[in-house]
Amino acid sequence: MTADTPFTHIGQPLPRKEDRRFLTGKGRYLDDVTLPGALQVTFVRSPHAHARITGIDAAAARALPGVVGVFTGRDLAQWTAPLRLAPPIEGLHPVEMTTLPVDKVRFHGDPVAVVVARDRYTAEDAAELVEVEYDPLPCAADTKTALAPNAPLVDDTLPDNLVSHQSFSAGDPAARRAEADRVVEARFDLHRLTHVPMETRGCLADWDAGRAHLTMHIGTQVPHPMRGQLAARLGISETQVTVISPDIGGGFGQKIALYREELTVAALSRHLGRPVRWREDRLENLTSASHARETQCVTRAAVRADGRILGLELDLTEDFGAYCFYPANYMARVIAMILTGPYKISDYAFDVKVVLTNKCGNGPMRAPMAITSWVMDGTIDAVARELGLDPLQVRRINALRPEDLPFTMPTGEVLEDVTPLETLEAAVQAIDVPAFRARQAQARDEGRLLGLGLCTVVESTTYGSAFYKAAGIPGSGHEAAWVRIEPSGVVNASVGLMGSGQGYETPLAQAVAEGLGVTPGTVNVHMGHTDIAPYGMGSRGARGATAGGGTLYLCAQKAQAKVLAIAASMLNLNDAQGLRLHNGQVERRLEDAWQATGISLTDVARRAYLDPTALPEGIDPGLDVSLTYDPPAMTYSNATHACEVEIDPATGRIRIDRYVVAEDCGTVLNPLVVKGQQQGAVAMGLSGALLEQVVYDENGQNQSATLADYLVATACELPNIEILPLHTPNRKTPAGIKGMAEGGIMGSIGAIAGAVSDALAPLGVTAEKMPLSPQRLRALLRKAGNFTHGTTFSDPGTTTTTHDTTTHGTPGNSDGRTNRA
Amino acid sequence: MSAPVPISLVVNGETYDLVAPPRKLLSDVLREDLHLTGTHVGCEHGVCGACTILIDGQPSRACLTYAVQMEGHELTTIEAVAEGDWLSPLQQALHEEHGLQCGFCTAGIVMTFEAYLRDNPQPSEAEVRDVLSGNLCRCTGYQNIVTAILKAAQVMREGQGA
């Protein structure tokens, strides 16, 4: 924050309150919560990608000592209602799923039965003894197969596997194509990923038969929607369910939906009258929790010779997997809506297809719209390449300028208080692009491959109710809070969010402290308990700061107004004009200075609670204030990422030499926490772009079921990230907060891809597919002409050599995946 | 295989006598039988490092060890690192540098580097990153963890010299 900040506590880099318990092993995560007599479940999962269930024989499993029961989809169908998703969205098929499959499995890892036993070891032994007979069916392991005529139907109730299809056009893209000097086509293929929270899923369900009440301990980002889902699916009322979220070891979007396993555990607790718990193992988490991405995009940009984009068209296909825990267009829609982002484009069309396949179902993963900025800035880079222009100049000529704001994107989304050109110039200046180009040219002469990638991000952060309404998605973007000053003068507060490790407790206490006029240390923010917190929409997108912090800030201001009204009467003043609460003390403005009145918040609280007859007319006893707030339809943050890489041509290894992010996320509650989110998002984006990949073979068998196969980046693969903070407040939100924490994914995917393509430019190849693994890089290098070490690159187009790389024994040569590049 | 046997363990200087099946993992015994839940289980196949504890002072994976193997060894877990309100220099540096977010991997990282910094008081950033590569963190991108470890090393060196 700048020195002239209007805030006392907002913007202070306070270390986090939750650290001490995590550092000393005293955090309380799901598996640390115990209940006497709790039973353990293990799921029996399908070894087939697609098969009829023709019989389940659990006799041997039931006979094992310590086993309480084995249950199947037929049992669960008696105890629970199916999930039906049928939002009124054109082109989206309604879908329905039972709690466990009854007659057909749809992916490798689909749960077919559940074993309940006295402990996990026994449950897993018993699961091995459950004999399931399958009649295997042909499978659709990719979108091409799934969309082919007579393809196997993933969902038997649908006419085909194209579960969602939407088209849109604004302006006249065809006319722009006709008048363009060139139409540049570019391709982007973002592979399948999964969230990998360090803590897997799990839950502990406790049915109290006497009260007919379910207490569900579960790490969830959205406690109240989770409560509503549990009640509806179990056929009980929301008054009969309490959801309690303990500390969460990471979520990243994987802990939003009510999954089938969790509903099964809740139903079993009710059926058996015992606490029942489930702890997912890592194999289950990688194969059966939730996947994400696997999106292919093609853009066609109609451009003038100077690089100005006149019109843009997008074709998008997403491989959604086998089940819809969300409306199938949920993630793809946002990509298409905000694609044009930082650029001044008005003629735009999209065609978005979402396809069911025999894989684990997709869900939102940190930045559901992750591919967006790669597609847009990658299109810019393609334009620059085809026209022989400087990619930086093509960005500048298309960039939204301050005078263009507020800018209505072709999809109707309104951008204001964003600074994409400023972040671009800040990042470019930090990198010193001319100096880099000189180094790059020299390196090419030495046979080394250096590249620079730029990616500007406009990140949709906070989704208000107006957005959901316009999108036809049921739900709301509002948030609710209460602030309670207790009789002793300390402050309890609550909001409907639930953090999954970001560190909400400190920045949200700062928002309350600012709004109320106390120190953050006296504020305790309670989250994750549906009987304590007000009904809120939980944590998703990047709404924590704007929706959560904003609501608490406004609620605390409302509480301060009541405190000051009481203080005014204590001071024998007619009204609270000229009074403020500052660090827990009531102060009065006299001439140009704030002066102490000798009245503290504790004095006011004592009067409000213990001497209410002394309160002024019209003031109710107590200091208990609640408030709801609905943010604007959408808030946006923006950033530019710049990434320098060097590629080792012999091994295909990418070394990141420098990584810079210039980011404008408005007013920040706590810059320490924000910086941690920015670094973490870039890291997750790079890890996904470089290493991680969910691999299915052509039979739909998951080949990446351990952390030795699904590679999450370690400290050796990730760079230090330089952050250049900008703080342009949003004029429509409380305190000017915008939110952030997903844009880092968007920018890093685009920046690393741009850097690799820039490095490979003299070879005439482009990185169109991820992950940018050594194998893929080697394949690209081979495609460029059996290239080997020692070649120089100063003269594009003349780099083909006659050497055969196979003699060098590089990693790509023995890898069967290299032909995918 | 699954018949329980008596096991005697020395953990954080205390002796515990318990009965558990020989196949029960050390991580499960620490958490379920000894109620030392600070040791976390992230993958149960030895990759993520969340369950790292010290066995005779050396960082080891509790998820790849059977409790019954640990008779006669000294075990140290995250619960023994801080003393009352006093955080170790490494814990304090992780707090100050925001070297943790969700906290699930943190215990394993603390245990790994309590041992490493004891034996290597002046590591380079590259050495710290190399050792840290045995612990996965999904939240931070490691940058602040590395900063904190280097800071803790410096604080510990200055403390020794004082």
Q: Who's near A479: CB < 8 A, 6+ residues apart?
A: A495, A496, A497, A536, A537, A543, A547, A548, A550, A551, A628, A629, A630, A631
| pTM of the full structure | 0.95
The answer to whether the beta carbons of residues A13 and A671 sit under 8 Å apart is: yes
CB contact under 8 A, B136 and A198: yes
pLDDT of residue A471: 78
Same domain for B96 and B155? yes
Looking at the complex, report in whole angstroms how far the Cα of residue A573 sits from the nearest Cα belonging to chain B.
45
Q: Which domain, by its residues, includes B61?
A: 5-80
List phi, psi (to 5°) of A118.
-70, -25
Which residues 6+ apart lie within 8 Å of A174 measured at CB? none
B66, B106, B130, B138: best mutation site toward chain A, by most A Cβ within 10 Å? B138
Q: Secondary structure of A157-224 in the HEC alphabet?
A: CCCCCEEEEEEEEECCHHHHHHHCCEEEEEEEEEEEEECCCCCCCEEEEEEECCCCEEEEEECCCCHH
**For residues B7-19, average pLDDT:** 98
Top residue of A24, A118, A124 to mutate, by most chain B CBs within 10 Å, is A24
What is the predicted ipTM?
A: 0.98
Position A807 scores a pLDDT of 32
CATH of domain A291-464+633-783: 3.30.365.10
Shared domain for B56 and B94, answered yes or no, is no
Let me know whether B17 and B76 are in one domain: yes
Structure tokens belonging to residue A355: 């396809």
Of the three residues B80, B99, B124, the one that is the final residue of a domain is B80
Which residue among A25, A26, A198 sits closest to B105, beta carbon to beta carbon? Answer: A198
Cβ atoms A294, A192 nearer than 8 A: yes
Confidence of residue B1 (pLDDT cuts 50, 70, 90): low
Q: Does B118 touch chain A (CB under 8 A)?
A: no
Encoded tokens for A487: 């009789």
Measure CA B53 to chain center: 4
Structure tokens at A599: 């009245």
pLDDT tops 50 at residue B139: yes
Q: Which fold has domain A33-137+200-248+255-289?
A: Aldehyde Oxidoreductase; domain 3 (3.90.1170)
Domain residue extents for chain A: 19-25+478-629, 33-137+200-248+255-289, 291-464+633-783
Residues 123-152 in B contacting A (C-alpha not used; CB under 8 Å) = 128-130, 132-134, 136-146
Tell me the chain B residues in contact with residue A680 when contact means C-beta distances shorter than 8 Å.
101, 139-141
Total domains in chain B come to: 2
Residue with tokens 């470890």: B149
Distances (CA, A) of A412 to A76, A173, A328: 44, 16, 22
Amino acid at A474: P
Average pLDDT per 10 consecutive residues for chain A, totaling 821 residues:
74 96 98 97 98 98 98 98 94 97 98 98 98 98 97 97 98 97 98 98 98 98 97 98 98 97 98 98 98 98 98 98 95 95 98 98 96 98 97 98 97 95 98 97 95 97 90 86 97 96 95 98 97 94 92 98 97 96 97 95 97 94 97 96 96 97 97 97 98 97 98 97 96 94 97 97 94 95 70 46 34 33 31
Q: Search chain A and give the residue with CA nearest B41.
A: A199
A31: chain B residues, CB-CB within 8 Å:
31, 37, 41
Same domain? For B76 and B99 the reply is no
CB-based contact A707 B133, cutoff 8 Å: no
The fold of the A19-25+478-629 domain, in CATH, is Aldehyde Oxidoreductase; domain 4 (3.30.365)
Helix (H, G, I), strand (E, B) or coil at A54: strand
Q: Look at residues B26, B48, B80 and tell me which one is the last residue of a structural domain.
A: B80
Last residue of a domain, one of B80, B107, B132: B80
B77 at the A interface (CB within 8 A)?
yes
Segments of A219-290 assigned E as strands? 241-244, 276-279
pLDDT at residue B162 above 80? no
Q: Which residues pair with A579 in a beta bridge?
A: A588
Which is it for strands A654-664 and A722-726: parallel, antiparallel or unpaired? Answer: parallel
If DSSP codes are grouped into helix, strand and coil, which group holds residue B143? Answer: helix
**Mean pLDDT, all residues of chain B:** 96
CATH number reported for the structural domain that contains residue B40 in this entry: 3.10.20.30
pLDDT beyond 80 at B2: no
Interface test with A, best of B32, B87, B102 (most A CBs within 10 A): B102
Do B105 and B46 lie in one domain? The reply is no
What per-residue confidence (pLDDT) applies to A474? 76
B95 shares a domain with B76: no
The contacts of residue B145 (CB under 8 Å, 6+ apart) are A715, B94, B97, B99, B100, B109, B132, B137
Tell me, yes or no, whether B69 and B20 share the same domain. yes
Q: How far apart are CA A667 and CA A733, in angstroms?
A: 10
